[in-house]
Structure 1
Amino acid sequence: MPQLADPVANLPRLAARGPSPSVRGAQSIDRAAGLLRLLASGQDRGTSLRDLVARSGLDRTTAYRMLSSLVATGLACRDPVSGLYGLGVEAMSVGLAALGRAPLTQACLPLMKALARRTGEHVFLVARSGDYSHCLHLEEGPRPIRAYAEYVGGARLLGTGVPSFSMLAQWDDAAISEHFERHRRQYEAHRLSIAKLLRWVKQARAQGYAHINAQGVGGVGLAFVLGTTGTAALGIVAPAARMPRSRGAELVAAMRAEMRRFGVGEPS
């Protein structure tokens, strides 16, 4: 199987502010924000002080002092055994507060409405949260399906929904295998083996998007980079009878066109 050196290198990117020229008098804030971005990018396993120094360009004393301040405020935390740093409870609290009026939903709502009108199908917006995807919004097509609306606000294991699968497909095979073992029971409950999962991943990589028909439901999913460290995805889902392979490519072309039109995604 092909391995992806950079899991998001070929994804469209949400037009969002990343590191920018420093505002006068705000250098310390810029540096702290940069450290938080680095912590977020390594949140799954933690990040060492040495790595943070090397990647931030700060000297060790300055980096340590700023990290200590972030730990004191709860925005960062340090594992007492490994010494690795990660985002803290306060950072999680801030992120959860943002979900009340999610900026990503506000940015994607116009294009989702346009896609629902253009395709006549349901359009989902999901964002990755660890091993799961969180459904932020569903823009319904002209034929509402109650079961679909029940997913909004909930979490699903990556790979068990079409949009979330497009995010999982960005991982390399080793990471996907580890992920599968962590959640083997849930995958087996969905009749998914690691062989089937990797077969679908290979197809998604070759196509540049996910297209899955299973258990009477079909859909396409297109992942994109969220900010500087996150991943999100748009998906169009319908009964499998309305999702032949030939239509999948048409729907993804429409998704990409609307993303460009509304400035939500830009080519990497």
Structure 2
Amino acid sequence: MPRSPARSADGPPGAQAIGRAAAVLAQVARHHVRGLPLRELVELTGLDRTTAWRIASALQREALVQRDESGLYRLGLGAMAIGAAAMDRPPMVDRCRPVMKTLARLSGDNVFLVVRHGDHSLCLHLEEGANKVRSFPLNVGATRLLGLGVGSIALLARLSDEAVAQHYARHAAEYGLHEVGRSRLLRWAAATRQAGYSYAGAGGVTGVGLGFPLEGYSDAAMSVLAPRTRLPRVRAVQLAAAMREECRKAGLA
């Protein structure tokens, strides 16, 4: 995870304090699933220990973060309430929807938007193409471990090999249920980085995914899914290029 030092503000009075609090809250959100110890919060924000602790304590009083018995910080109920209020129209969906509509129209297939939420991916939106698949809308709102799904693989590939290995160690038992081992996760991540896109299939469905940083949020990925017969490797290469170009024109990647 790159270091995100709190920046000095040249704006109105109080802007610097708000910026520091936002930096703390953003890092807690990124690490919500596993929790964030104070020492890592200090490292990631660039704040000194006392300042980071004071800000985290203030956010805790407002229920925006919570600190468990082991000292790990996670999002609090107040932050979750704010997030729930935004779910009817998530800002990142508004930003990505025009690209997704274009891709669905050009491909005739189904385009998903997923975002990274800690060690998981969260499916936020689906734009259906002409070739609709009845079960696909059920994926919206679902979470998966990183690497379990083509868009989720694209998110996994944005981590370093060391981070992928650490991620696997935290969830080895669950990956075992899917017959996915550490070496396989690392191979998927490496292949995605080399190709610039993910390509995977299961249960008669195949997809191509493209990961990108979504400014102000977490990492995101779009994926195009279709029945296996409609998405051989040669078409996946073409779709990945189209996805990359449409995202570039929209300022997403």
- Per the normalisation by structure 1, the TM-score is 0.79
- Where does residue 183 of structure 1 map in the other structure? 174
Following superposition, the deviation at residue 76 of structure 1 comes to 1.7
Distance 1:110 1:67 in 2: 37
Bigger CA drift: 68-77 or 52-61? Answer: 52-61
Kindly indicate whether the alpha-carbon contact (under 8 Å) linking 1:217 and 1:237 is maintained by their aligned counterparts in 2.
yes
Distance 1:236 1:19 in 2: 38
Following superposition, the deviation at residue 58 of structure 1 comes to 4.3
Q: Which of 157, 164, 168 does residue 145 from structure 2 map onto?
A: 157
Amino acid paired to 2:178: Y
Go from structure 1 to structure 2 and tell me whether the alpha carbon gap of 1:130 and 1:118 turns closer, same or farther (over 3 Å shift): same
Q: Give structure 1 stretches of 5+ with no counterpart.
A: 1-5, 8-17
Q: Which of 191, 205, 223 does residue 203 from structure 1 map onto?
A: 191
- Where does residue 71 of structure 1 map in the other structure? 60
- Where does residue 20 of structure 2 map in the other structure? 31
Distance 1:202 1:64 in 2: 38
Count of residues paired in the alignment:
246
Distance 1:130 1:58 in 2: 22
Following superposition, the deviation at residue 260 of structure 1 comes to 1.5
Following superposition, the deviation at residue 115 of structure 1 comes to 0.7
Go from structure 1 to structure 2 and tell me whether the alpha carbon gap of 1:161 and 1:45 turns closer, same or farther (over 3 Å shift): closer
CA displacement 1:148-190 (0-9 Å, x = unmatched): 12212222333232111211233324134325514135413xx
Distance 1:76 1:52 in 2: 13
Q: Give structure 2 stretches of 5+ with no counterpart.
A: none
Kindly indicate whether the alpha-carbon contact (under 8 Å) linking 2:34 and 2:118 is maintained by their aligned counterparts in 1.
no
Which structure is higher in RCO with an 8 Å CA cutoff and minimum separation 6? 1
Distance 1:257 1:210 in 2: 16
Q: Which of 58, 81, 90 does residue 93 from structure 1 map onto?
A: 81
Q: Which of 124, 127, 130 does residue 139 from structure 1 map onto?
A: 127
Following superposition, the deviation at residue 49 of structure 1 comes to 3.7
Amino acid paired to 2:22: A
Distance 2:128 2:195 in 1: 26
Q: Which of 251, 254, 257 does residue 242 from structure 2 map onto?
A: 254
